[in-house]
Amino acid sequence: MIELNMPLQQDARRAQERESEAMLSAARARAEASANQVIAELSENLAGIEAARRSEMLTVSSLLPQAELTFRAALAGYENGKIDFATLLDAQRQIRQAKLSRIKAQVEAQLRLAEIERLLGEEL
């Protein structure tokens, strides 16, 4: 008994090979697109952290000291009777808003860091 395989279906086999190559190429393109998406999200979050830190530093180094000086001046003016109580309250409100801005910037930085950790799959 002899068995013989004749390559009579070359066109079908070649079509299957082309289909397999196309599927492989599509899978590689999807993997590359996913990698690019992760890199883009990572870059966006890194920029967000940097912006939040700059905002916090601006608040701590500039806005908060100015608000405190304004409050001290308003307090002195109120004690001397030159400024009304509403102005004093407004100066105190500015201090609270500066502190709130600092906290918001810190929260934003922590949220961005958590998102980066999610993308990487590990804690930093």
pLDDT digit string, tens, across residues 7-36: 666 777 788 889 999 999 999 999 999 999
In Å, what is the CA distance from 52 to each residue of 40, 45, 65? 18, 10, 19
The structural domains of the chain, with segments of one domain joined by +, span 16-120
Please report, to the nearest 10 degrees, the dihedral formed by the alpha carbons of residues 108, 114, 124, 99 taken in order: 20
Nearest to 42 by CA among 122, 101, 113: 113
d(CA 22, CA 28): 10
- Written as one letter, the residue type at 95 is I
Task: Count CB atoms within 10 A of the CB of residue 74.
Answer: 21
pLDDT, one tens digit per residue, over 98-124 is 999 999 999 999 999 999 999 988 887
SS3 96: helix
pTM, two decimals, is 0.73
